[in-house]
Structures are given as structure tokens and as C-alpha cells.
Chains A and B, each alone.
Chain A
Amino acid sequence: MDRQQMAKADFITSILLILTSLFIMIYTLFGFPRFPEWGPLYANPGFTPFFLGLVLFLMSIYLLIRSLKDQGQQVRTTMEAVKTFLRQQKVVRFLICLALFVLYYVLLGHIPFIVDTALYLFLSFLIFGRGKWFVALLIAVAGSLTISLVFSRIFLVPLP
């Protein structure tokens, strides 16, 4: 990422961080109880989070100012640019990878662990490996069985 792109990224990140820190401070001020019997402000459970929120706020402001100096505010995007970005092979692969993670997580507990793992491995080998489907299936099933056996029998680990 070059300096200009990083400045734009920093601009967006700093805004997100400012909002996060404001949320932390406001929520801590109004959403947390007071425990007067323990002492004044510093004894409250919200004291440290508020303090951290304040530090984060100040640092995010500095990041924002720095990004503005490098013209980071010139973030322009069009539908066409978004479409081009989403069509990039790297982005597609990233999103598929993420979708497979989510699918694996969602199916856990609904189908047996061995089946879920084999399905995840099969889809991953097939999509990212470009091999023959039956080879991918074979490795996925063998992999899933081996993992289940090794961890449940040797490591005595509870499986999802």
C-alpha cells in the first residue's frame, strides 16, 4: 500500500476508532453503575475503560490529523470501482474463504463434526486446489477421519 492509499485507509480507520472511543466513554459514563461504598470515581468499574477510551480518542484524533495532512480525506468511490474491486480474483478468493469459515461454524452442532469437517475440507480443496473432485473428496474424508481420531482418542480433546 503506498503512502496515499495508506493515508486514505488511516482516514477511515481513525474515524472508526474515534467513534469506538466515543462509544466506550459515553457508555462507561452513563451505562455503568457507581459503587460509592468502594470510593469515589476511581473505584468504579468504568474508571479504566473510560481512561483507555480517552487515550484511544486522543490517539485517533492525531491519526486523523496526520491522514488529513496526507490528503487522506480524498476518499472517492463509485459503484463501478466497487464492482471492479469485488471482481478481483484475490478478493473473490478471500470472500469464499471467509464464507467457508462461516458455513463451517454455522453447521457445527447441526451436523456431526466429521461430516462438517469433511464438507469444509472438500469444498476448500475443490475451490482453491483446482484438482479432480473425487481426489478432493477422498483427501477430505480421510483428513476428517484422521483429525477426529487423533484428537478424540490420542489427545482426548472434546470435539465440537
Chain B
Amino acid sequence: MGPLIILQEVWKFVSNPATLFEVFWATQLGIIVGMLPGLTATMGIALVTGLTFQWATSDAILILICIYIGAIYGGSRSAILINVPGTPAAAATVFDGYPLARSGRAGEAIGLATTASFLGSMIGLFFLSFFTPWLGTIALEFRSFEFFWLTVFGIVICGNLTAPKDPLKGWISGVLGLFVALIGMDVIQAYPRYTFGSVELSGGLSLIPALVGLYGIPEVLNALSEIQKQEKAMQIKRVIPRIKDLWDNRINIVRSGIIGTIIGAIPGVGENIAAYVSYDFAHRASKHPEKFGHGAEEGLIAAETGNNACVGGAIIPVLALAVPGSPPAAVLMAAMWLHGMRPGPLLMIETPNYVYEVSAMFLIGTFAMLILGLSWVRTMVKILNVRTYILMPIVFILCAIGSFAISARTFDILIMLIFGVIGYAMRKYEFADAPFILGIILGDMLDENLRRSLMLTSGAIPPLFTRPICIILIALTVLTAVARNPRFKGMMSETRETVWRGLGIGRKKK
């Protein structure tokens, strides 16, 4: 039934010229946002959420999904042409994309990146369409106890993976985010917490202004306070990739797509890590690892497949569990809430076809990305020559309008500014922003479920630790928390060696 519903939904979108126009302009806007260093996918989605607030729900979500896909792909353009990743997701694309461009194959690199992104998105879409309903069915078994542990696990794993150098700071960031989410009326007794009499705060901190501030303002501050030399974009020749190049990389593409999707489904982790991990796996599996970093097509394809596959993966937990898989997916989820949607386990009961509707949106966005990615490349690349000092003040104005648009309150612009400064300080002192965002999104869920579960059991703690799914989530949380501990790593390594020896399997010496 699933594929049929998707096709039906696609036809509904494609047969309406106005919707088709929306798909193309939104994807193009996403590509431009992704291309321009300093404008990220999260920021683009957050901005447009405010601007499309008055629009019909399905149009607004369609536009946001197209921007998401476009922006994650768009980052590869500047990575290849000027050696600066347009978005963090394209950071791994720089390693081989730019050397390819320097060797006179810029057009070819863009073509490969576009096709790899397309294929990555399709793999992500496959899992999104067929895995989400299954996960949704499991999620229906979740009660308050499980949701509490799910939020804890989300924060711990997100802090661990997005702050690999210092997970402690990632966790602190996540806890701060959880706390920020509790400002305003509490969900059970409607008591205004930490509002200090402010009427504006009693409804809670507005999510979109906070997200726009966290992602937009630090970029503006960074770009305008640092004097950077702006690179000129390279010349482009042939863009359409060769089928042979793609066929030779078929295993690489499938592997990177699956890795990207899995990483996407992990709460809050995001496209940049998906790209790095896919790149790393491709490097290890390559017959020519020495070429990596010097213009290896395999590396470019792995990074681009991985980051775009992550988009589909990141939407899976949004729909099934109401837990975002990446920062842009967090904003997308906030947009769904704003438009009255209720992503999460009940979605499968209330609107079971919504997963397929989102999949259809994703599918046309992916095709729009492929078409736009392979056409009028030379013209679009000229945008990279726009001066930072012109672009960034305009971005600030857009951030202000986007924050104001949701509730028409000037107070929200103040929230944006405050969160902007907080975001800037967090980056400067290496506190990852992804766990903070995840915390803001999941704070209410944690509070409500923790207190509700204790109320249900009249304060008895054991059910929190003894239910089967709780045990799995607790084990995963503990494993994640100790995974980077040197003693634990040593212990695991010893155990592995013992098992290998026991099985009589020799290990290759490095």
C-alpha cells in the first residue's frame, strides 16, 4: 500500500502547477542557502518557518522539506568551488571536492556530488517510507517511563557524538537546553516557572526565535567581525556525471546511504557526522586509500551520499517518536507543531498516511534537487561572489522578520538576540549547539513524562528501571556515556582480543 500512496501523493503535488512551482523555488532557495558559507540548513528552515507561518500546512511543510534537502546538498557547491563548506554537512566534501576542482574537474565534481546527493536522498527516502511505520508501531508501546528514558538517551548520545572532543560539554549543553525548555507554564499544573512575572515568558520561550538566534546570529557575528578573504569561484565545464563513475561506486553509495540514514535516525546527531563517518568508511574500504584527500571521487561520493541520506534518516524519529534526528529536523518538527501537526507515536493512529505524504514531499524535493543541481550551475555559482558585508546584514534582517512573524511580538526579536549571543559564546567555548537544541525540543517531554510516570506509580521508582524497553534504553544510555572512557575502551579491546583468540581467529596487524 505504501508505495501506491506515495505515488498518489506525488501525483497530487505534481499535477498542481502552483505546488510544483513551490517545490522548485524552495529547493533552489535551499541550494542557495546551503551554498553560501554562513547560512546553514537549520537557519534556512528556521527562517522560512516564520515566513511561511500563514501558509497552508501541507504547503509550508513541503517548502521546508525542499529547503532542507536543497540546503544539505547546496553546501557541496562552495566546498568544491571555494574550499569552504557552505554548511557543516559539507565539511567532509571539501577533502576531495576541492582537490578535484583544482585539477580542472570542478564541473565533474559538482555533477558527482549532485548525483550522489540524489542517490543518498533516495536511500534515506526508502528507509523513511518503510521503516517509519514499523518504528511507529513499536513506539506505540512507549509509555511515560519509556519516553523519559528516550529523552535522556537522546541528550546523552547527542552530546557524545556532537562534542567528540569533550562529551561533558555536550551533555552540559543538553541539560541547559532541557532547562530552557521548562521556562513558562508547566504542562501538568500550568504553573509559570522562571517567568518572574513576565507575561511574554509565561507561554514559554518561542522555539523558532530561539533557534533562529542560535543558528543565525552567531554566523552574522562571526562573518562580520572576522575579516576574511573571499575566494573566487572556479570555472565550470561539464556537469553531467559519467554512468561508469557511479556504477564503479555502487557499493560505496549503498554503504554510505545506509550509514547516513542510521546516523540520521540517532537523536540530534546530524548530517555533518553522517558525512564524516561515511567518508571514513569509504576510506577504509577503498582500494586506493592514498588518493583520499587528493581528489578521490570515492571520498566525494561517500560524503555527499552520507549527508543527504541522513536527511531521510533524521525525519524517521521525528515522525515516529517526536524526537528529531538532527538540528534541521528539530526545526522541521517545531514547524510541524506550529502548524498543528502532532508528530510522534499517535501520528500512526491519527493520520497513518502522513508518513507517505511526507515521503512524497521528500521524493519530489529530491528530484527537484537533481534537476536544479545539474542545470544552470554556472549562473548559480555567481552567487558565491556576493560580498559577506552585504549578505550578512540582510541575513540579520531576515532573522528578525522570521522571529517576529510567528506571533507578531517584538519580544521574540529580543529572544533571538539573546539566544544569538548565547550561541556565539557556546561555539567560542566549544559547547556543541546540537544537544542544546535537542534539549529545548525535548524538555517538555522529559518533564511531563518523568512526573507523570511517578504520579502513575505513586512515586514508586522500580517501574522506571524494570520495564523491558526502559532497560534497553538505560543500557544504551550507560553504554553511550562510558563509550569514550579510556578504561572502558581498554576493557572492550581486551575482551575483543580474548573472544578472537577463543574463536581461533587471527587479527590482521596494522
Contacts and interface: CB of A to CB of B under 8 A. Distances in A.
Q: Does B associate with A?
A: yes
Interface in B363-404: 387, 389-390, 392-394, 396-398, 400-401, 404
**Dominant secondary structure at the A interface:** helix
A39 B458 contact: yes
Interface residues of B, number: 58
A50 to B, nearest CB: 11
A51 B152 CA distance: 13
Interface in B152-210: 168-169, 171-172, 175-176, 178-179, 182, 186, 188-189, 191, 193-194
Contacts of A60: 172
Contact of B224 (A43, A97, A158): A97
Contacts of A108: 400, 410, 413
Interface in A75-128: 89-91, 93-94, 97-98, 101-102, 104-105, 108-109, 117, 120-121, 124-125, 128
Given A38-B189, A124-B393, A151-B51, A48 B182 contact: yes
B430 A6 contact: yes
Contacts of A124: 224, 389, 392-393, 396
A97 B172 contact: no
B414 interface: yes
Contact of B179 (A32, A56, A102): A56
Contact of B189 (A45, A56, A90): A45
Contact of A38 (B390, B394, B446, B455): B455
B187 to A, nearest CB: 9
B227 interface: yes
B397 A147 contact: yes
A19 interface: no
Contact of B172 (A49, A63, A125): A63
B459 interface: yes
Given A13-B429, A55-B175, A129-B390, A93 B224 contact: yes
A93 to B, nearest CB: 4
Contact of B404 (A43, A46, A52, A160): A160
Nearest to B226: A90
Contacts of A53: 179
B188 A157 contact: no
Instruction: Tell me which of A51, A53, A128 has the highest count of chain B C-beta atoms within 10 A of its own C-beta.
Output: A128
Instruction: Tell me which of B397, B450, B454 has the highest count of chain A C-beta atoms within 10 A of its own C-beta.
Output: B397
Instruction: Tell me which of A17, A53, A59, A109 has the highest count of chain B C-beta atoms within 10 A of its own C-beta.
Output: A59
B394 A143 contact: yes
A43 B187 CA distance: 11
Given A47-B451, A129-B389, A62 B404 contact: no
Q: Give the interface size class of chain A.
A: 35 or more
A17 B50 CA distance: 32
Contacts of B194: 27, 49
B329 to A, nearest CB: 23
Interface string A123-152: 011001100000000010001100100010
A65 to B, nearest CB: 11
B413 A156 contact: no
B447 interface: yes
A71 to B, nearest CB: 17
Contacts of B186: 45
Nearest to B183: A49
B367 to A, nearest CB: 25
B179 A24 contact: yes
A101 B390 contact: no
A39 B224 CA distance: 53
B220 interface: yes
Contacts, number: 157
B51 A157 contact: yes
Contacts of B178: 52
A24 B178 CA distance: 13
A49 to B, nearest CB: 5
Given A39-B458, A155-B52, A160 B413 contact: yes
Interface in B83-121: none
A9 interface: yes
A42 interface: yes
B179 A128 contact: no
B225 interface: yes
A40 B451 contact: no
A101 B421 CA distance: 11
A93 B50 contact: no
B499 interface: no
A147 B404 CA distance: 14
Interface string B217-240: 100110011110000000000000
A45 B189 CA distance: 7
B221 A48 contact: no
A124 B389 CA distance: 7
Contact of B393 (A40, A121, A158): A121
A94 B179 contact: no
A155 B50 CA distance: 10
B459 A42 contact: yes
B401 A157 contact: yes
Nearest to A54: B175
A43 B455 contact: yes
B123 interface: no
B221 A45 contact: no
20 contacts: A9-B429, A13-B429, A17-B172, A38-B188, A38-B455, A39-B454, A40-B459, A43-B451, A48-B447, A55-B175, A59-B168, A62-B168, A90-B227, A94-B225, A97-B221, A102-B417, A117-B397, A120-B396, A151-B401, A151-B405
Interface of B: 50-54, 168-169, 171-172, 175-176, 178-179, 182, 186, 188-189, 191, 193-194, 217, 220-221, 224-227, 387, 389-390, 392-394, 396-398, 400-401, 404-405, 408, 410, 413-414, 417, 420-421, 428-430, 446-447, 450-451, 454-455, 458-459
Instruction: For the complex of A and B, list the 7 residue pairs with the smallest distance between their C-beta atoms, beginning with the closest.
Output: A124-B393, A94-B225, A42-B454, A129-B389, A128-B389, A48-B447, A45-B191
